[in-house]
Amino acid sequence: MINKEPIRPLSIDGTGHYLPQLEVGNDEFRQLVDTSDEWIRTRTGIRSRHLAEGEAVWYMGAQAARAALADACCTAEEIDVILVTTVTPDYVTPSVSCVIQAELGARRAFCLDLNVACSGFVYALDLASRYLQDPAISTVLIVAAELLSSITDFTDRSTCVLFGDGAAAVLVRRGDGTSGIHAVELGAEGEKGEVLTASIERPTSPFAAADRGRFPLRFSAARPTLQMAGREVFRFAVTVLADSVQAVLAKSGAGMEDLDYVIPHQANDRILEAAAKRLGISSDRVYAGLDTIGNTSSVSIPLALDRCRRSGRVRRGDTIAICGFGGGLTYGAALFTL
Ligand code: COA
């Protein structure tokens, strides 16, 4: 039986998302690389994805944030903290969260960006629940925003068909104690970092050693575009998705029967099926909404949460597990009552 009282109360009062208008079908990739709709659909579950035509990360994030604020009947002045998850910030500085703060007029909020790749939303929700234990903080805005097309190599068929752009936001308040986090499991396996990389291009300092061999690069194969060893990531994903959900259930004294719904990071339908099988849960209790979205990194979980809330798939009082995995490598799961 699940412990009734959440260990860290919070209430998800609003959700929203933004997807670029441009929807690119699988067939359009045939002009770029040697691929087919059939290969992409059967290996991933993806039929199309939304790609930005110039939207900045902050712009997509602010649009999603406005939708979440409206949903929660919350004004920008009420926000105490803005957390942004992204691997594609518009600038090294200012952070995306600061730009969104200015855009919304959330003058009272302090702001920080998190880079945990596709696991980002789980980490952000954990952090929000910890901030909300401070009596001075009652309202946290989490925004996930990713412009993956800006780090995609559109000549690499093994990666370019997988990703999409977009943003999603969640407005979290402390709540009355009936809803909130039961357990969280977070982790990283930095020694596997080389299986999913993208580098940052910078000018070379005039003081840098000409002999680069003195300071060898950790990930010498990294390029400014995403490089991925797909099979290794696949294996990692299936294992950590199932294990981290089991870990949060065990920590909270819950069983699979207490779980109303699982919302995993959306990277590949086959990963979701394999993880559901490993967990021993029927696939109709596991969200799968990849077909018209693709992999949107940290956006995928809050985007799914928004869709599920708005469609009535999840309701107040439901016990939900979210779980993510991605670059780092990182992973995380959280069990909460909505
Ligand atoms: N169209 C056609 N063929 C393609 C292709 C494409 N878009 N991409 C790869 N192929 C080819 C490969 O070149 C390979 O050909 P070969 O056998 O002649 O060498 C063949 O398909 C099989 O490639 P492989 O990489 O073994 O395929 P896979 O079944 O492992 O599927 C992924 C590839 C990327 C879909 C899969 O590994 C995956 O989803 N991994 C996890 C990725 C992920 O989740 N990343 C994000 C982490 S957040």
Q: pLDDT over 70 for what percent of the chain?
A: 99
- Interval between CA 159 and ligand 1 midpoint (Å): 8
pLDDT, mean of residues 36-52: 98
Mean of the per-residue pLDDT values for the chain?
96
9 lines ligand 1 (CB under 6 A): no
Q: Please, are residues 174 and 10 in contact by the beta-carbon 8 Å criterion?
A: yes
Give the closest residue (by CA) to ligand 1 atom 21: 158
List b or e across 154-187, with b for residues whose CB sees 16 or more CB atoms inside 10 angstroms. Answer: eebeebbbbbbbbbbbbbbbbbeeebbbbbbbbb
Specify the higher pLDDT residue, 192 or 2. 192
What pLDDT sits at residue 209? 84
Spatial distance between the Cα atoms of 4 and 11, rounded to a whole number of angstroms: 15
Decide if 331 contacts 324 (C-beta within 8 A): yes
Instruction: Please report the pLDDT score of residue 213 as a whole number.
Output: 80
Catalytic residues: 118, 265, 295
175 lines ligand 1 (CB under 6 A): no
Q: How much distance in Å is there from the Cα of 328 to the middle of ligand 1? A: 20
Q: Which residues does 218 contact at the CB level (< 8 Å), separation at least 6?
A: 193, 194
Q: How far is CA 68 from CA 74, 137, 147, in A?
A: 8, 18, 20
Ligand 1 lined by 156 (C-beta under 6 Å): no
pLDDT of residue 18: 98
The mean pLDDT value for 315-324 works out to: 96
Average pLDDT over residues 295-324: 97
CA of 231 to the centre of ligand 1 (A): 7
Is residue 116 very low, low, confident or very high in pLDDT (cuts 50, 70, 90)?
very high
Describe the crossing of helices 269-279 and 230-251 by its angle, rounded to 10 degrees.
40
Atom from ligand 1 closest to the CA of residue 267: 44
- Ligand 1 geometric centre to CA of 36 (Å): 12
For ligand 1, what atom is nearest to the CA of residue 157?
7
| Domain range summary for the chain, segments of one domain joined by + | 8-177, 181-337
Average pLDDT over residues 218-239: 93
Domain 181-337: CATH superfamily, name plus number: Thiolase/Chalcone synthase (3.40.47.10)
The yes-or-no verdict on residue 67 having pLDDT over 90 is yes
Are 8-177 and 181-337 equal in CATH topology? yes
pTM of full prediction above 0.85: yes
Q: Cβ of 253: how many Cβ atoms within 10 Å?
A: 12
For 135, the 3-state DSSP assignment is coil
> What is the position in ligand 1's atom list of the atom closest to the CA of 160?
7
When mean pLDDT is compared across 1-5, 175-179, 261-265, 292-296, the lowest value belongs to 1-5
Architecture of domain 8-177: 3-Layer(aba) Sandwich (3.40)
Indicate if the pLDDT at residue 4 is higher than 90: no
Which one is predicted more confidently, 75 or 208? 75
Residue 3 binned pLDDT confidence (cut-offs 50, 70, 90): low
Measured from the CB, is residue 268 less than 6 Å from ligand 1?
A: yes
Q: What mean pLDDT comes out for the span 4-30?
A: 96
- pLDDT the model gives residue 211: 80
Whole-number pLDDT of residue 217: 84
Over range 218-245, report the average pLDDT.
94
